[in-house]
Amino acid sequence: MAAVKILYYSVSADLSRDITATISAEIQKGKKVNFLLPSARYIFQLKETLVAQVGSVMPGQLFFGNFLAWAKKILEAEHRFYRILGPGAEWILLFDFLRKNHALFKSLKPGALTQIQKIVTELQESGWTGAELNRLLQSGGDLAPYVDCVNYFLEIAREKYLASPAMALMLALENLLTTSYALTGEYLVIAGFYEFNPIQQKLVNHLIKRSEEAIIFYPEQTEHPVFQYIKPVVDNLESKNYTESVLPVPPANTLSRIADNLYHNKASSSPDDLQPGEFLNDWSETALILLRCPTRRQEVHAAVQTVKKWIAGGMQADRIAVVYRDASKYSRLIRLVFPAGGIPVENNSRLLAETVPLRIISKIFDVNERNFNRGSLIDLTRFESVRRYYGEELIQKFEYQSASWGLSFDRESWLRQLTQRREYLRTFIQSETEELKEIGVLRQELMEIDSLLPVLKQLIDDISLPPESYWCEYTEMVKKLLRMYWFADNRNDSSAELVDSVQQVFMQLNSLVARRERLSLRNFSMALNNLVQNTVVSEEASRQKSGITIADVMDVRGGHFDGIVLLGMADGEFPASRRENPLLNNRRRRALNQELGRELLQLSGSNIQEEKFLFYSLLHNAAERMLISFPQFDNDGRAVAMSPFLDDLLMLANQPEWQAAIRYCSISPAEIIPHIRRTVSRRDLLLNRWHFQWDRGTLDFIERNISDVKALREIGRRIDIENQRRQNSPCRWNGRLTTNNHRRTCFAQPLSVTRLQQYALCPFLYLCQYIWKIDAVDEPLAEVSALSDGLLIHGLLEAFLKLASPQNFDQWKQFITADLSGEIEEVLDHIEKKYRSAFAYLDKAVWNKKMADLRRGLRLFIQREIEALESECTPAEFEYRLKFEIPLAIDDCQLSVPLQLKIDRIDRSKDGGLVILEYKRSAKSVQDPRKGLDEGVYFQLPFYLYGYKELCANVRFAGIYTYIFNEGRVAKGLFTQPLLTGWKTVDYHNIEKLITDTAELVTTYLKRIFAGDFFLNPHDVKKRCQQGKCPYFDVCRIDTRQIEIMADEED
């Protein structure tokens, strides 16, 4: 039995230096040394330190390896060479096995396969051989199906020499139990571990037995509460021939003292008592800064600023680490932001699944699985290579116009909806309604539909995949799609490694499964995704390296740095929140272990004690500076809770003795341009030049350090524009046109009251919609829109009144008081035949409900008309259209401006007076005619009076009012005669003043339009000026603070 020397080191010590100091003399004497270390990063760091100390060594004198490398070494000694499988390949083998043995797990859900894989891995790492597992569980029970899976992987390993890392360790253990494997070398050094799982523990003991002398470096357990998690190393050893000693403890620095004061519950203050200050990146007296950031992206920006500040202060780049607990939330952001900030990312590699071609394939799978819904299809067409393949202009039109086609529910519905949209547009144009859009815009859309049809059909045919096929056929389909969308246009040297990686994935896939077996598309996409999620593609080797370590917290355990940036200190991330395995929860695990009389399976889920130890160790790993940041909001806008581990730090920061060493800071959510004291790049200087008021000396300094004068001037011009907008100064950038080009067309077509009211509500909106003609597509609804509902109501009432066409009041009374059941059905049938094709995108149930609403509304209309017979008025005109012109004198120009209107209905009283009606679908859209005219924004009924008066000067009006269709009642009326009970009459001069005021208002608006006055001054800003409420919000409401110069896209 080898002698074992246990050396306890402080967690604040540089472990690589301690190992080098202990073993370098023996290496220089020519002794052979084997090292067992946790990871490749540990090995790299130790190699660097050793080489610097001992210089050259003999070939084969040193062996460095983690547990997997040792397992391969043990197996290769017996001439057993295995290809190590990644998690994705192992998942495919397990999936194929369970497809053929579906009786093992009844009612297996798709997401359960990964959980089964985890349990199988736990059994492989349990420290028991395959034979022992089968004997232990020969009576069956809950674990029997999982042991069958282990047996299958053992069979694969023995027949095909394919093994996962856990299986390789299991095979190595079996080999050590049955062979006399000899460990060459005088020393075995085991370092970097603070715990061992069962199979690691057994491998360690077997290696110790076969060595001459073993040296174990293990964290020194102090009285601090976090060390309760660490099991004494001697409990893992079978050998009792050991000695123990403690290595010298390095002098305590500020950060290690902070760590030692955590988790004692001695603080009297509350973390809520401390309010954050402004983050100025000042480290002159501070060792630790806790930073609250609005978003994760700003966390990474702050990390860039901090790292550059440290380097500028003399800290070596290779002594800095940027770490995180959740790679999925930070690795891509770091690849985007760090290079843009001037910091090349070391080992800048990414997963194959993150590359553009595989993202395209993944999105195609998603489109098929989601039955070609619009969101998925539009996401696919936003890839540059897809747009280029089908034509960028046509794809842009498809993305834009498809928003109004309705909700897609399968691949065939796209072409059907395109045809239905065409029918809808034709119906809408023929109705001559006073819609909000230019008829010319709708006609243009009709022309674009004809050009879109063949392209859309080709796109859908190309990406349509069968719901079930063979492995080999799906593989060929994916290869074809990659050739179409990517490899045909990307044949440069930089994509060669990517092409090789993709080909290797397909070769591996074909080697793992029977190519002529059938499976579903979903299962194939899951299998391919599991492979590419575990395949790494490296960037070009010539890329400059910064030397900064960027890694997961678990990969830097035991590392020693001068400065550490810790990102994502949020609850659920650090401490990590891991759920129990639902297929085998902790309650069942305890029962199984108790039944077996030994701990076969460890408890799953989170271990808060381990997380505390990791955080404690990380604080000890930084010698000088540490930035800990956390986001307030996630990418989807949801609030993110701060890590509970920061409570102790905040309470320490509130104590007098720690206030200088620990600072709590915050970056404002409104801040886009970094404070001048956090400026670390020319881009930051460029933005700061215009963001603050500087003295002349400071301006001279900034401008001397900005080489891009063109960019400087451009940013200044843009900010000047935005300042004028924010100050509501009338200018060319605030809706005041400086040319007269619009005059040629602004009155070319007759203007309606709808357009004039649009100008009154927001002149800038009128400019965008009718002068610049910026079209805005409304998102489709699963129901009838308000505009379309109005079209149906007007069509219904017009058709009904035309059935009557009374010549006098007696005929009208006779008609309206008769049994109208047949007429009601006739009118509804007319609506069905005329409009159903135009609204074919609506579900049948939705359309039937709308028809029921129309039937109910028509019955209420008839009842209201019977009640109104007391007025002895006769319907005379329905949907009455008229055009007229008014003279306009402006800037020495004499114009004749064409206007048009369509009066919903005109009744004639018994003495010949006219009553003007307008229809509204609900009470929300009803406006008081006098009040609306005084406000200058709602004047539809007064405009009807004005227009009719222009054509018939001698006409006399008896009244105006609004009819609410959904409620069957009259609202907001003015009457000069006592026509309806409950309505007071007004003098006729009130009607005349209404007409006069309308004429003046219309003339004022027409003059402003002709003069180019589209000043940004909307009515009811709080209600209308919001994202999603106005289609032109982003055009008119740009804020200077949102100016960004760099793009977010990586590819």
pLDDT of residue 432: 56
**pLDDT-wise least confident of 422-436, 793-807, 907-921, 1015-1029:** 422-436
For β-strands 288-293 and 622-631, DSSP reports them as: parallel
For β-strands 33-36 and 957-964, DSSP reports them as: unpaired
Residue 520: CB atoms within 10 A of its CB come to 13
Domain boundary among 621, 639, 668: 668
The answer on pLDDT for 407 being more than 70 is: no
Q: Are 1008 and 763 in contact (CB under 8 A)?
A: yes
166 belongs to a structural domain: no
Residues 771-783, mean pLDDT to the nearest whole number: 69
Same domain, 297 and 216: no
Kindly state the tokens that stand for 883.
């055009």
**pLDDT-wise least confident of 72-76, 590-594, 615-619:** 590-594
384 belongs to a structural domain: yes
Q: What is the band of 592 on the pLDDT scale with cuts at 50, 70, 90?
A: confident
Same domain, 478 and 499: yes
Q: Are 481 and 360 in contact (CB under 8 A)?
A: yes
The answer on pLDDT for 118 being more than 80 is: yes
Same domain, 246 and 259: no
738 belongs to a structural domain: no
Same domain, 512 and 585: no
For β-strands 320-324 and 518-520, DSSP reports them as: unpaired
Q: Which CATH number covers residue 14?
A: 3.40.50.300
Helix axes 296-312, 327-340, angle to 10 degrees: 50
Kindly state the tokens that stand for 544.
């400059």
Q: Which CATH number covers residue 894?
A: 3.90.320
Same domain, 70 and 196: yes
**Nearest alpha-carbon partner for 953 in 986, 995, 985:** 995
Residues 364-391, mean pLDDT to the nearest whole number: 89
Kindly state the tokens that stand for 109.
């859900």
Sign (positive/negative) of CA torsion 932, 933, 937, 939? positive
Q: Are 264 and 27 in contact (CB under 8 A)?
A: no
412 belongs to a structural domain: yes
Distances (CA, A) of 171 to 128, 147, 163, 211, 391: 10, 15, 9, 20, 55
Residues 722-748, mean pLDDT to the nearest whole number: 76
Give the pLDDT confidence of 258-286 residue by residue, as tens digits.
999 888 765 555 666 678 898 988 898 89
For β-strands 957-964 and 914-920, DSSP reports them as: parallel
Measure the CA–CA gap between 801 and 812, rounded to whole angstroms. Answer: 10
Q: What is the band of 217 on the pLDDT scale with cuts at 50, 70, 90?
A: very high
Strand partners, 774: none
383 belongs to a structural domain: yes
The answer on pLDDT for 292 being more than 60 is: yes
For β-strands 957-964 and 969-975, DSSP reports them as: antiparallel
Same domain, 492 and 419: yes
Q: Half-sphere exposure of residue 741, counting CA atoms within 13 Å on the CB side?
A: 7
The answer on pLDDT for 1025 being more than 90 is: no
What is the percent of the chain with per-residue pLDDT over 70, rounded to a whole number? Answer: 86
Residues 790-794, mean pLDDT to the nearest whole number: 90
Q: What is the band of 1043 on the pLDDT scale with cuts at 50, 70, 90?
A: very low
Q: What is the band of 64 on the pLDDT scale with cuts at 50, 70, 90?
A: very high
Same domain, 807 and 864: yes
**pLDDT-wise least confident of 101-110, 928-937, 1032-1041:** 1032-1041
Residues 485-505, mean pLDDT to the nearest whole number: 71
718 belongs to a structural domain: yes
Measure the CA–CA gap between 524 and 1004, rounded to whole angstroms. Answer: 67
Same domain, 813 and 895: yes
Same domain, 931 and 833: yes
Residues 494-505, mean pLDDT to the nearest whole number: 76
Distances (CA, A) of 861 to 868, 904, 967: 10, 14, 9
Domain boundary among 993, 1011, 1029: 1011
Distances (CA, A) of 116 to 121, 147, 583: 9, 11, 7
Residues 985-1013, mean pLDDT to the nearest whole number: 92
> From the CA atom positions of the chain, what is the Rg in Å?
39
Q: What is the band of 891 on the pLDDT scale with cuts at 50, 70, 90?
A: confident
The answer on pLDDT for 765 being more than 90 is: no
pLDDT of residue 960: 94
Q: What is the band of 544 on the pLDDT scale with cuts at 50, 70, 90?
A: very low
The answer to pTM > 0.75 is no
Domain boundary among 228, 250, 272: 250
Give the pLDDT confidence of 204-216 residue by residue, as tens digits.
999 999 999 999 9
Kindly state the tokens that stand for 374.
């619009």
pLDDT of residue 1028: 67
pLDDT of residue 899: 93
551 belongs to a structural domain: yes
Residues 574-598, mean pLDDT to the nearest whole number: 83
What is the percent of the chain with per-residue pLDDT over 90, rounded to a whole number? Answer: 39
Measure the CA–CA gap between 679 and 868, rounded to whole angstroms. Answer: 75
Strand partners, 367: none
pLDDT of residue 271: 62
* Alpha-helical regions (H) of 436-495: 439-463, 471-482
Measure the CA–CA gap between 948 and 329, rounded to whole angstroms. Answer: 65
Residues 768-789, mean pLDDT to the nearest whole number: 74
Q: DSSP per residue over 552-613, as a string?
A: EGGGGTT--EEEEEEE--BTBBTTB-----TTS-HHHHHHHHHHHTS--S---S--HHHHHH
pLDDT of residue 615: 93
The beta-carbon contacts of 766-772 under 8 Å, at least 24 apart in sequence, are 766/1009, 766/1014, 767/735, 767/737, 767/1014, 768/1032, 768/1035, 768/1036, 769/436, 769/437, 769/438, 769/1032, 770/438, 770/746, 771/737, 771/742, 771/745, 771/746, 771/1014
Give the pLDDT confidence of 674-705 residue by residue, as tens digits.
666 666 666 666 666 655 566 667 667 666 66
Say which residue, 963 or 673, is predicted with more confidence: 963
Kindly state the tokens that stand for 634.
């996630």
**pLDDT-wise least confident of 111-125, 270-284, 806-820:** 270-284
Same domain, 791 and 932: yes
Give the pLDDT confidence of 121-130 residue by residue, as tens digits.
999 999 989 8
Burial of 1005 (0-12, 13-18, 19+ CB in 10 A): buried
* Alpha-helical regions (H) of 81-164: 87-100, 112-124, 130-136, 144-160
pLDDT of residue 203: 95
**Nearest alpha-carbon partner for 776 in 445, 330, 527, 1038:** 445
765 belongs to a structural domain: no
Same domain, 139 and 202: no
The answer on pLDDT for 436 being more than 50 is: no
Burial of 822 (0-12, 13-18, 19+ CB in 10 A): exposed
- Quote the domain boundaries for residue 637: 255-348+547-668
Measure the CA–CA gap between 1047 and 1039, rounded to whole angstroms. Answer: 18
Say which residue, 328 or 986, is predicted with more confidence: 986
Same domain, 704 and 629: no
**Nearest alpha-carbon partner for 6 in 163, 183, 188:** 188
Ramachandran area for residue 708 (φ above 0: left; ψ -120 to 50: alpha; else beta) = beta
Q: Considering the chain, what is the average pLDDT of its residues?
A: 84
Measure the CA–CA gap between 897 and 885, rounded to whole angstroms. Answer: 5
The beta-carbon contacts of 502-505 under 8 Å, at least 24 apart in sequence, are 502/352, 502/357, 502/358, 504/535, 505/352, 505/531, 505/532, 505/535
Q: How many domains does the chain have?
A: 6
Element (H, E) at 358: helix 356-369
